[in-house]
Amino acid sequence: MKDLPKIYNSKSFEDKIYLKWEESGFFNPDNLPERNKKSFTISLPPPNVTGQLHLGHAAMLAYQDTMTRYHRLIGDKTLWLPGMDHAAIATQSVVEKKLNKKKKTRHDLGREKFLKEVNNFAEDSKKTIRNQIKKMGSSLDWSREHFTLDEDLSIAVKTVFKKMYDDGLIYKGDRVVNWCPTCQSTLADDEVEYVEKKAPFYYFKYGPVIIGTARPETKFSDKVIIVHPKDKRYKDIIGKEFNVEWIEGKIKAKVIADIIADMEIGTGAMTITPAHSMVDFELAQKYDLKVEKIIDKDGKLTSAAGSMAGLDVEKARKKVVEILDKKGLVHEIDNNYTHNLSICYRCSTPIEPLPSKQWFVDVNKKVPGRNKSLKQLASEVVESGEIKMIPNRFNKTYFQWMDNLRDWCISRQIWYGHRIPVWYKEPIEITYFVHGTTPDNEKSIATGLNDVSLSELGIKQSKELKKTLKDKKFDVIITSDLKRATESANYAFGKDYITDKRLREINYGDMTGKSSKEVYDLKKETINEPYPNGESHKNVEKRMRDLIDDISKKYKGKKIAIIAHQATQQALDVILKGKTWKQAFDEDWRNTKAWQPGWKYKIETDDETYVGLETPKGKDWIQDEDTLDTWFSSSLWTFSTLGWPEKTNDLKTFHPTQVMETGYDILFFWVARMIIMSTYVLEEIPFHNVYLHGLIRDKEGKKMSKSLGNGIDPLEMIDKYGADALRLSMIVGSTPGNDLRLYEEKIQGYRNFINKLWNISRYILTTVKKVEQIKKEDLEPQTMADYWILNQLNNIIDNTTDNLENFKFSQAGEELYEFTWNKLANWYIEIAKIEGNKDKILLYILEKLLILWHPMCPFISEVIWEQFNSKELLIISNWPNKLKLKEKEVKEFDLIQEIISAIRNARAEHKANTKKTYSCSISTKNQKLIEDNKEIIEKLGKVKITPKSPGIKLNVNNVDIILDINESPEVKKNKEKSIINLERYIGIQENKLKNKSFSKNAPPDVILKEEEKLKQAKVELEKLTS
């Protein structure tokens, strides 16, 4: 006799049991007893290290653990591999938010310190999550745990990047990104929020058409009109060029026909602004148009905006409209237009779409040697059925997405993540000095090519320059070959300089020697046209470009000093800083009265890049500042965690994995990318099956979230009801791909079941003479009920196996639940109390039942299992097999149950006294059957069987029952109702069977079945009416 508490207290067992499992080492497949050669692997979708476990995680853990435990029980070499994801953007922004509270930004800390901070946070978060995962009972092999930012995964990431780069599948290109001028950072699409805002919508006259826009300030360099090729209104102007009066005077505009133009919207004609709209950018690439930035990173207008350069967006908009209005080009202003404004999720600043350099994975280019693109490779494996999606309908979604897939932008302007393994030669730094003062300068005469020496003042200035430059070192010093430059260089830097003719001052031609004022007045006119018999500023720009080209080839990563003249310095402003000549004149250093600021210029040397695993040798290399998209590293998850690129045993044994179980919401983000990467890198699929679960919602069907306050905390639920109950509440009643509503009462319900299971076990274990494991040879079933229940056990073994093999977890749970509570507890145990002497069968069933339940309810099953004092743990016991039984006895017992139910039913309906035992007669062809089960019927039906009894007549399956109770008037009504129903049904059946096309077309077994149904109904009707 055992002594067990009445109520199962999950809290007092779960942690201990988990520890026992962990200590056994059986979560690690290397320690499992060898039974099958077959392996079974699931890679845990790594939770983000941003914080806490939520119900979605809990559900995913429940499904995966169910599969894992089942496969361990059937003897597979089973691995469930845990890990976590660094979730770059999400994690970084959590830490940044914390910093913001202290009024700091990441830039205040610097890259290194900030990363330290993030890493600390991630480590803490990992610990929390790990514990939470364990609370769910997850049988994960912790010895193989990985983090997407681990050193070995980093090697995998870099190796793949290099492979793709070498295969020409990764390239650097321009793309319009979401830029927040306040945060000074790009935003991912999901970081952009939308607000509806009323803003004026303008219609302008633009040459032959009228265009609409909400953003006039971006329209400076629009030179292309797009209309729909089928638009009759514009048929005549397609392909033509027009001189259009526009913001800064006349420009030439070309008309192009493209179906992208929507005839319905506005006037059906539009101009395009390549640099500030994603769509326009693509159009620009299609038609090879110039991409000119109008707005800079600070949200101000660039030099391309001419006179409005430097203004911020809002002001510029007003001004542009003003100008156009003055020119009579405003057609209409719609002040009631609601604009869908995109803003930054952090600071709510309107987002500026800006072009910038990003890294891309080319999904359409053929992979060398395979003659197929990444896209094609990834589509094929699903098309062929090599990868199976559950539910199947996601195939469609997958193909649709794949077909429309564009190149994958993999670079992110954040710090936390895998740094892009690309190195550039350091940029060339130019510090520019103008030569010291000459006598000409003092007289304010234009010197030009006249080769004059420095004045006293000039010499002094140069010597002073030397002092201020004491600490600075330059690799190369280049000067103009005119004396005033070389002399300055000599004083300031010594003799080690190179001269270059291209650095000479502009040739003023006939204006040489004239007063500076006269020359100044001519300046703007000499941008494109030369001074009389002299040179144009464009020409200076040309020779300077030439020089810069040479420098950038020769002096990569060097620091260079240039000593030359005024016009050449302005040319550098134009070439390297993107100024217009006009701006360069306006911002002349002479106007500021500053002497020798030492202008700084940078020449980027992108063309020389190195891609590899480590920093290349040599001093001048610097690594790309950007990091990789999180999904780049997680797309390698199934194999990078198994040791790839090494050809490890693990990789051979456990890859491809069997199942990828995850939410349908990340089918694209993650699942699709894993397929792309695995088929490309390993030339094999990452997994055979994709099981997609739905989202967990609250009772009203709303998404659970902290802000709504409708979230259920899984830990709290485990604390209150136990992990097993929580698991069941998410397994039963959920189907793949469909959302699941969860609420506390539901979990409570399954807690009740767990307690029921506990009490079934308690009853069996405390009433049997000896608790032991029973071999099937020793079973000795005797009565009909014994055969029946063992047969039911056979069925449930079959069905559970089938259900789990086919991912029908809900079904498995439901059927087992029914077997346990109804068949076993409510019928068989009650019968066992009557018939007695069933120790062996009860113990046998209990043992098998625990194994069957174990995948879904690991804790309680293991706790009860301990009572058997078995040498081995339940987690590695053997999945049960069916028994061989005599079929004959089994079916007849159903009839006994029906008789009992009919009696119970009649008692309840007629409101008979439940305490009283009534007399009852039962007559059937097989009277022996009744005799054999007399006691069961009497006790469970609370009747006394006599040969002849008065009372009401009942009938089940040709068995006549007369029960000695008084008929209640309500039942008469029910009876009438039943008669009407039956008559109607009989009518339907008869018509069906008479119908010739039915007998012609329906399969014979169906016809037989229908005939049988009709017969039954007729018999029943007869009993009711007699």
Residues numbered 146 to 205 that lie near RNA (CB under 7 A) are 189, 194, 201
Is 673 one of the binding residues for RNA (CB under 7 A)? Answer: no
Is 294 one of the binding residues for RNA (CB under 7 A)? Answer: no
Cβ proximity to RNA, 201 vs 474, nearer residue: 201
Cβ proximity to RNA, 606 vs 802, nearer residue: 802
Given strand 422-425, what is the order of strands in its sheet? 609-611, 422-425, 621-623
Q: Which two tokens stand for residue 411?
A: 């670079």
**Residue 564 beta carbon to RNA: minimum distance, rounded to whole angstroms:** 46
Which listed residue (261, 428, 482, 728) binds RNA by CB under 7 A?
261
CA 411 to chain centroid: 16
**Residue 739 beta carbon to RNA: minimum distance, rounded to whole angstroms:** 6
**Residue 214 beta carbon to RNA: minimum distance, rounded to whole angstroms:** 5
* Residue 489 amino acid letter: A
**Under a CB-based contact definition with an 8 Å cutoff, are residues 633 and 664 in contact?**
no
**Residue 660 beta carbon to RNA: minimum distance, rounded to whole angstroms:** 18
Is 955 one of the binding residues for RNA (CB under 7 A)? Answer: no
**Residue 139 beta carbon to RNA: minimum distance, rounded to whole angstroms:** 25
Cβ proximity to RNA, 515 vs 995, nearer residue: 995
Which listed residue (269, 382, 571, 726) binds RNA by CB under 7 A?
269
**Residue 939 beta carbon to RNA: minimum distance, rounded to whole angstroms:** 12
Q: Which two tokens stand for residue 433?
A: 């000095």
* CA-to-CA separations, 842 to 38, 678, 698, 833, 893, in angstroms, rounded: 33, 50, 40, 11, 18
Q: Which two tokens stand for residue 900?
A: 């009992």
**Residue 820 beta carbon to RNA: minimum distance, rounded to whole angstroms:** 10
Is 975 one of the binding residues for RNA (CB under 7 A)? Answer: no
Pairing state between β 428-434 and 599-603: antiparallel
Which listed residue (36, 649, 766, 881) binds RNA by CB under 7 A?
766
Cβ proximity to RNA, 218 vs 791, nearer residue: 218
**Residue 1014 beta carbon to RNA: minimum distance, rounded to whole angstroms:** 9
| Cβ neighbour number for residue 215 with a 10 Å cutoff | 19
Which listed residue (334, 549, 646, 665) binds RNA by CB under 7 A?
665
Is 905 one of the binding residues for RNA (CB under 7 A)? Answer: yes
Query: Look-up: residue for tokens 């309906």?
Result: 909
Is 128 one of the binding residues for RNA (CB under 7 A)? Answer: no
Cα(575)–Cα(569) distance, integer angstroms: 10
Q: Which of residues 322-381 bind RNA (CB under 7 A)?
A: 339-340
Cβ proximity to RNA, 201 vs 601, nearer residue: 201
Cβ proximity to RNA, 604 vs 665, nearer residue: 665
Is 969 one of the binding residues for RNA (CB under 7 A)? Answer: no
Q: Which of residues 907-926 bind RNA (CB under 7 A)?
A: 908-909, 911, 913-915
Cβ proximity to RNA, 61 vs 829, nearer residue: 829
Ordered DSSP codes for 714-776: HHHHHHHH-HHHHHHHHHTT--TTS-EE--HHHHHHHHHHHHHHHHHHHHHHHHSSS--PPPG
For the chain, the C-alpha Rg in angstroms (whole number) is: 42
Is 763 one of the binding residues for RNA (CB under 7 A)? Answer: yes
Is 1013 one of the binding residues for RNA (CB under 7 A)? Answer: yes
Which listed residue (212, 448, 663, 686) binds RNA by CB under 7 A?
212
Is 268 one of the binding residues for RNA (CB under 7 A)? Answer: yes
Q: Residue by residue, what is the 3-state secondary structure of 57-103? A: HHHHHHHHHHHHHHHHHCCCEEEEECEEECCHHHHHHHHHHHHHHCC
Cβ proximity to RNA, 238 vs 575, nearer residue: 238
Closest CA to 630 of 357, 421, 416, 345: 416
Q: Which of residues 390-409 bind RNA (CB under 7 A)?
A: 393, 396-397, 400-401, 404
**Residue 5 beta carbon to RNA: minimum distance, rounded to whole angstroms:** 10
Which listed residue (99, 214, 449, 979) binds RNA by CB under 7 A?
214
Q: What are the residues whose beta carbons fall under 8 Å from the beta carbon of 680, sequence distance 6 or more?
A: 164, 169, 367, 374, 377
Which listed residue (425, 558, 751, 838) binds RNA by CB under 7 A?
751
Q: Which of residues 687-716 bind RNA (CB under 7 A)?
A: 697, 699-701, 703
Cβ proximity to RNA, 443 vs 984, nearer residue: 984
**Residue 703 beta carbon to RNA: minimum distance, rounded to whole angstroms:** 7
Of how many residues is the chain composed? 1026
Q: Which of residues 830-849 bind RNA (CB under 7 A)?
A: 830
> Strand pairing partners for 561?
431, 477
Cβ proximity to RNA, 333 vs 908, nearer residue: 908
* CA-to-CA separations, 700 to 53, 717, 738, 889, in angstroms, rounded: 22, 19, 15, 49
> Which one of 275-283, 302-310, 415-423, 464-472 is the stretch in contact with RNA (CB under 7 A)?
275-283
Cα(726)–Cα(253) distance, integer angstroms: 67
Cβ proximity to RNA, 291 vs 825, nearer residue: 825
**Residue 47 beta carbon to RNA: minimum distance, rounded to whole angstroms:** 19
3-class DSSP state for residue 200? coil
Q: What are the residues whose beta carbons fall under 8 Å from the beta carbon of 775, sequence distance 6 or more?
A: none
Cβ proximity to RNA, 577 vs 756, nearer residue: 756
Cα(461)–Cα(465) distance, integer angstroms: 6
509-515-520 Cα angle (round to 5): 75
Is 1025 one of the binding residues for RNA (CB under 7 A)? Answer: no
Tell me, by CB under 7 A, how many residues bind RNA.
95
> Which one of 133-141, 550-558, 755-763, 857-865 is the stretch in contact with RNA (CB under 7 A)?
755-763
Q: Which of residues 491-530 bind RNA (CB under 7 A)?
A: none
**Residue 991 beta carbon to RNA: minimum distance, rounded to whole angstroms:** 9
Is 142 one of the binding residues for RNA (CB under 7 A)? Answer: no
From first CA to last CA, the distance across the chain in angstroms is 55
Which listed residue (119, 759, 919, 924) binds RNA by CB under 7 A?
759
Is 1017 one of the binding residues for RNA (CB under 7 A)? Answer: yes
Cα(831)–Cα(935) distance, integer angstroms: 9
Question: With DSSP H G I counted as helix, E B as strand and the rest as coil, what are the percentages for the chain, rounded to 5?
Answer: 50, 20, 35
Which listed residue (31, 649, 981, 1025) binds RNA by CB under 7 A?
981
Cα(367)–Cα(169) distance, integer angstroms: 7
Q: Which of residues 74-93 bind RNA (CB under 7 A)?
A: none
Closest CA to 1024 of 971, 945, 969: 971
**Residue 554 beta carbon to RNA: minimum distance, rounded to whole angstroms:** 43
Q: What are phi and psi of 426, to 5 degrees?
A: -60, 150
* CA-to-CA separations, 573 to 555, 569, 918, in angstroms, rounded: 20, 7, 110
**Residue 985 beta carbon to RNA: minimum distance, rounded to whole angstroms:** 4
**Under a CB-based contact definition with an 8 Å cutoff, are residues 365 and 189 in contact?**
no
Cβ proximity to RNA, 647 vs 994, nearer residue: 994
Q: Which two tokens stand for residue 159?
A: 């190796």
Cβ proximity to RNA, 881 vs 905, nearer residue: 905
> Which one of 59-67, 158-166, 613-621, 743-751 is the stretch in contact with RNA (CB under 7 A)?
743-751
Is 285 one of the binding residues for RNA (CB under 7 A)? Answer: no
Cβ proximity to RNA, 179 vs 555, nearer residue: 179
Q: What are the residues whose beta carbons fall under 8 Å from the beta carbon of 4, sequence distance 6 or more?
A: 758, 761, 762, 765, 766, 867
Which listed residue (713, 739, 744, 938) binds RNA by CB under 7 A?
739
> Which one of 6-14, 585-593, 787-795, 883-891 is the stretch in contact with RNA (CB under 7 A)?
6-14
